[in-house]
Amino acid sequence: MSVVSWLDNYHSDVNFIVRSFIGTVIRKGGNIKTLKWFNNDKSKELPNILRFPGKAFSRVEYLYCGGLSTNYGTYQQLLKACKNITNLEIHSYQKSDERNLATLIRSQNNLRHIACHSISGGTWRLTAALRSQARSLRSVKFVKVNFTDVSLKGLIGCDNVETLEIFDCSGIDIEKFWEPIIERSEFRLKRLCLVRVSILPVAIEKIMVRANEKLEEVTIDRRVMDEMPYFLEMLSNNCPNISYLKIFLRDIGEIQLLFSCAITWSKLKTLVIRTSYVNVDEVLPSLAKFVPISLRLLDINMKISPKPLESFLEDCEAPIMKLTLDRDSITNEHLKVLTKYALEKKSLKSVVFAHTYGWGGSRISEEVENRAKEVFELDESTELDDFFFLCADNNDNLSEWW
């Protein structure tokens, strides 16, 4: 049957976009590797997956699915059509779909990565289903998930998990949620991210001790630092191979402690420090000697005057290639210091001005800016997960940032 005739027989009033999509599916046969099946629009309806040619989606490896207006029965159709998903992202769903989504997870042959976003409740079946992928699962990510009456029991036996990321999740019963990590999990992480999440310190301690030299990337916010004021010492004592660290620090004492620990991380390449805009002029020059020679990217949102910044850069032995500073504290003098450093050390290739605490007007003249751009790339940015850090610091409602 030709593409056109099959489409004509499929649905008489199917719109042009859907017709084009179906035609592509038929022409590609079973070679489709990526599928996004998401609907938040009540006025639209996605086609029935099972009406597509036999094995059209049999080789899908990445599936992005969800939406509060996804058709009833969609996930039953997906679990019949897709058995070889390795990367699954779920973005919101109707509670009535939870059981079928859990079955979709269990039906996969080699699921390696799963991420759940913006789920308001009813997640215990999804979490429990993770155990079915114990052999293959490598990374687990939760963002804005309600974990009421949920535990991490599904990770028991998932000893190959290397990444655990939990951002802005609510409803956590600390003892119930983290107990399986303490008692029965044996995974050794390479990447750990905990932001705006209630923790049980003994569980995080066990994760760090078990990970040991395997742990390379860590993102930690103020909540964790409040619950574990000894976090930095523990990280330094147990995890020598840290290459990426993003952390919220509350005061100058913690900043000094961080740098004294950083010298032990000989593989540290990226250091991102978030603070409540702490003034570090008095201590910054003395911290340069603690910077590991491996560091290439330094991102700090502290209040820094030009002269201390110049002293720090002069004494820092690491060839910093990218430097990120808070946009609202930068003046012509700062940019002149950076230009001089780049010309002398030859390593600095990029300077980024990050908007972490506001969107104030520029205090840099066009002449100085153009001169700097002759020496290195000059850019501005706002990291998405900085919103999580900001709200964790200010106790704001995160929804105001979206």
3-state secondary structure of 35: strand
Task: Give pLDDT, residue 233.
Answer: 96
| Mean pLDDT of the region 170-199 | 93
Q: Under a CB-based contact definition with an 8 Å cutoff, are residues 271 and 262 in contact?
A: yes
Confidence at 382, pLDDT banded by 50, 70, 90: low
Closest of 339, 338, 314 to residue 325, by C-alpha: 338
Task: Give pLDDT, residue 293.
Answer: 97
Confidence at 184, pLDDT banded by 50, 70, 90: confident
For the record, the structure tokens of 12 come out as 């008489």
Confidence at 55, pLDDT banded by 50, 70, 90: confident
Rounded to 10 degrees, what is the CA torsion of 223, 226, 228, 233?
110
For the record, the structure tokens of 252 come out as 């100058």
Task: Give pLDDT, residue 356.
Answer: 57
Q: Position of tokens 């655990």?
A: 164
Task: Give pLDDT, residue 50.
Answer: 74
Taking 50 as the threshold, does the pLDDT of residue 11 lie above it? no
Task: Give pLDDT, residue 19.
Answer: 60
Q: Under a CB-based contact definition with an 8 Å cutoff, are residues 268 and 243 in contact?
A: yes
Q: How far is CA 287 from CA 113, 273, 347, in A?
A: 39, 14, 20
For the record, the structure tokens of 169 come out as 């999740």
pLDDT tens for 128-172 read 999 999 999 999 999 999 999 999 999 989 999 999 999 999 999
Q: What is the DSSP letter of 71?
A: P
pLDDT tens for 220-259 read 999 999 999 999 999 999 999 999 999 999 899 999 999 9
Q: What is the CATH number of domain 258-402?
A: 3.80.10
Taking 80 as the threshold, does the pLDDT of residue 125 lie above it? yes
Largest CA distance in the chain: 77
Average pLDDT, the chain: 86
pLDDT tens for 338-351 read 999 999 999 999 99
For the record, the structure tokens of 75 come out as 């996930």
Residue 37: left (phi > 0), alpha (psi -120 to 50), or beta?
beta
The span from the CA of 156 to the CA of 313, in Å, is 47
Taking 80 as the threshold, does the pLDDT of residue 15 lie above it? no
How many Cβ atoms sit within 10 Å of the Cβ of residue 57?
Answer: 25
Task: Give pLDDT, residue 76.
Answer: 87
For the record, the structure tokens of 225 come out as 């630092």
Confidence at 9, pLDDT banded by 50, 70, 90: very low
Write out 146-201 in H/E/C secondary structure. ECCCCCCHHHCCCCCCCEEEEECCECCCHHHHHHHHHHCCCCCCCEEEEECCCCCH
Q: How far is CA 99 from CA 125, 126, 342, in A?
A: 7, 8, 57
Task: Give pLDDT, residue 357.
Answer: 52
The span from the CA of 129 to the CA of 18, in Å, is 32
Closest of 181, 180, 188, 179 to residue 159, by C-alpha: 188
Taking 90 as the threshold, does the pLDDT of residue 308 lie above it? yes
Closest of 84, 138, 81 to residue 115, by C-alpha: 138
Q: What is the DSSP letter of 136?
A: T
Confidence at 89, pLDDT banded by 50, 70, 90: very high
Radius of gyration of the chain (CA): 25
Q: Position of tokens 């056109």?
A: 4
Q: Under a CB-based contact definition with an 8 Å cutoff, are residues 327 and 301 in contact?
A: no
Number of residues in the chain = 402
Angle at 204 between CA 199 and CA 206, to 5 degrees: 145
